[in-house]
Amino acid sequence: MRASALFMPTVKEDPADAEAVSHRLMIRGGFVRQFAAGIYVILPLGWRVMRRICRIIREEMDRIGAVELSMPTLHPADVWQASGRYQAIGQEMFRLKDRGGRDMVLAMTHEEVFAWLAARELRSYRDLPQIWYQIQLKFRDEPRPKGGVLRVREFLMKDSYSFDLDEAGLEASYAKHIQAYDRIFARCGLEFLRVESDSGFMGGAQAHEYMAPSAAGEDRVAVCDSCGFAANVELARSVAHFPSVSPAAARGQAEGGTTGVGPLEVSTPEQRTIAEVASFLGVRPSDLIKTLVYVVEGTAERRYVVALLRGDHELHENKLARYVRGAVRPASAEEVLAATGVEIGFLGPVGLRERGLRLVADQALDPAGPAGSRGYVAGANKPHAHLTVVVGRDFQAEVADLREAQAGEGCPQCGRPLTIRQVIEVGNIFKLGTKYSVPLGATVLDEKGQERPLVMGSYGIGPARIAAAAVEQNHDERGIIWPKAIAPFDVQLVQLQTNDEQQTRVAAWLHDTLESSGLEVLWDDRDERPGFKFADAELIGCPVRITVGKKVREGKVEMERRRGGAREEVLVEEAVERARSLWEKAE
């Protein structure tokens, strides 16, 4: 393709609002343009990348026996009401009414509609298993659209759905998707991790996410390089470090014992934070108990839950929400005072159960755990005072995994140190079970003629996220370095002087011969300065560049790989074979 016939509006300067590398380079390289917050136009270069990604996805989905169809993105609300998600999903769902006043939604995902179709078309166990997929638009009213195409309100998505008679069938369909997804992301040139994850509003028994490591990612995962354990931090377990008890923190245990007289009060004037109290008393943050009050949402009357953690640990709110089986939010200062009678800063666990509050302690505080029954410093529930307390002696609490895994803590499988990595979510897979088939009546008759609900799985991939993650992982100070499988073109042919007949003749021959050999070529025949063309070639990032310049008088062209290749002079008659060799060696 000639660049003079291709709309490719490259830009010299970084966009002012761009933070992520992929956002900056995809704007500058002429791949996308922002239309509105979280809404993007995919320009011709960007669409070529998307088409290549989607082609890989289709090939691998077809390989596991999936069949492609297309579902509507405008849905009557009643199917979402049947599953309960119309009420459960908040402002992220786009809701509207048609001219008849009927409630409608723009699809965030398609579980309900696929279950609706299965309920009408699948009758017998002989119809199973089925895997259906589509590559379709989705809509989500993101509260913070940012990062270019990483967090948007309208996006293309591959979503597939498996239908089986039983859990064994679901396991087989799930395993097929793991194989397909592993191949898709590898073929797209991504470094990726498959990690355990929370099923969230999708529901279901088990879920995994595919994550591309990148500093631009908003997710974090805990990874063990020794045994391969990997999980999103919202789910990741870890083995906490248990430092010995400092003398000051042990005083209450030493004086009262685990069955003794109770907590020891100490004066802490104006010391409110963990750091302030630890410094004032000469103890470590790990010797303190952090007392956090949360409101459990979605109930008629306000319910509170108190999360207790070691002072050096951080609560992961999703873990608390999963444990209490409801959405949670931090209580305001006014709500804390109303619920406990104590202002923030001096709040502690002793006596809160007697006020009707539910206490949940992190596993690191469990007296039956590795730390044993030991002393901690906690708020005294009165101004300017703290207590040295013993868990189990001075207060009782439920025990759950509440804290966020930290780098250096032990892997739950092998005990070796964990690392925490920033990642971009590029895909996810869910074992849905019968969450959607039961309310939408998707059943089949088994071998005995008994009606059984279909057992479903759901599997998603974001093509634009693959593109953005590829840019995040593959770039330098000059521009993008596309993995060869998803580059907009395989070869960029730069003709330096467009009014030079010999250069034009050689460039045309190279373009046509390379295209005939199966490589896609962008021929930069624009009437621009050589420096401008070189800068664009580096910015756009095709795997191989051929320069047709003054050397054609000697029967030579210049050639190099975009990723770390040395520039070399090649005879024109050998250029096609050499270009293909360089492309094949590209990653």
User: Model's pTM, two decimal places?
Assistant: 0.89
Which whole number is the average pLDDT over 359-373? 89
Are both 426 and 394 inside the same structural domain? Answer: no
Domain that holds residue 213: 3-73+107-237+420-471
Complete DSSP assignment for 495-535: ES-TT-HHHHHHHHHHHHHHHHTT--EEEE--S--HHHHHH
Which whole number is the average pLDDT over 277-286? 93
**Residue 560 above 90 pLDDT?**
yes
Q: Which residues contact 437 (CB under 8 A, 6 or more apart)?
A: 115, 118, 119, 443, 453, 454, 455, 456
**Last residue of one domain, picked from the residues 400, 429, 461:** 400
pLDDT at residue 315, as a whole number: 95
Note whether residue 532 is domain-resident.
yes
Note whether residue 101 is domain-resident.
no
pLDDT band at 300 (very low <50, low <70, confident <90, very high): low
Show the 3-state SS of 9-32.
Answer: CCCCCCCCCCCCHHHHHHHHCCCE
Are both 134 and 203 inside the same structural domain? Answer: yes
Note whether residue 481 is domain-resident.
no
pLDDT at residue 234, as a whole number: 84
The alpha carbon of 2 is separated from its chain's Cα centroid by a whole number of angstroms, namely: 37
Are both 424 and 396 inside the same structural domain? Answer: no
Residues 392-443 pLDDT 10s:
899 999 999 999 999 999 999 999 999 999 999 999 999 999 999 999 999 9
Burial zone of 191 (CB within 10 Å; 0-12 exposed, 13-18 middle, 19+ buried): middle
pLDDT at residue 18, as a whole number: 86
Note whether residue 121 is domain-resident.
yes
* CA nearest neighbour of 347 among 306, 391, 390: 306
Are both 54 and 8 inside the same structural domain? Answer: yes
Are both 224 and 302 inside the same structural domain? Answer: no
Q: What is the largest CA-CA distance in the chain?
A: 99
For the chain, how many structural domains are there in total? Answer: 3
Residues 56-113 pLDDT 10s:
999 999 999 999 999 999 999 999 999 999 998 989 999 999 999 999 999 999 999 9
For position 461, which CATH number holds? 3.30.930.10
**Residue 205 CB neighbour total at 10 angstroms:** 12
Percent of the chain at pLDDT > 70 equals 95
Are both 210 and 304 inside the same structural domain? Answer: no
Are both 37 and 115 inside the same structural domain? Answer: yes
Query: Could you tell me the two tokens for 496?
Result: 């330096």
* CA nearest neighbour of 397 among 327, 307, 337, 292: 307
Are both 55 and 143 inside the same structural domain? Answer: yes
Note whether residue 267 is domain-resident.
yes
Are both 230 and 251 inside the same structural domain? Answer: no
pLDDT band at 258 (very low <50, low <70, confident <90, very high): very low
For position 318, which CATH number holds? 3.90.960.10
Are both 141 and 266 inside the same structural domain? Answer: no
Note whether residue 405 is domain-resident.
no
* CA nearest neighbour of 68 among 172, 168, 160: 160
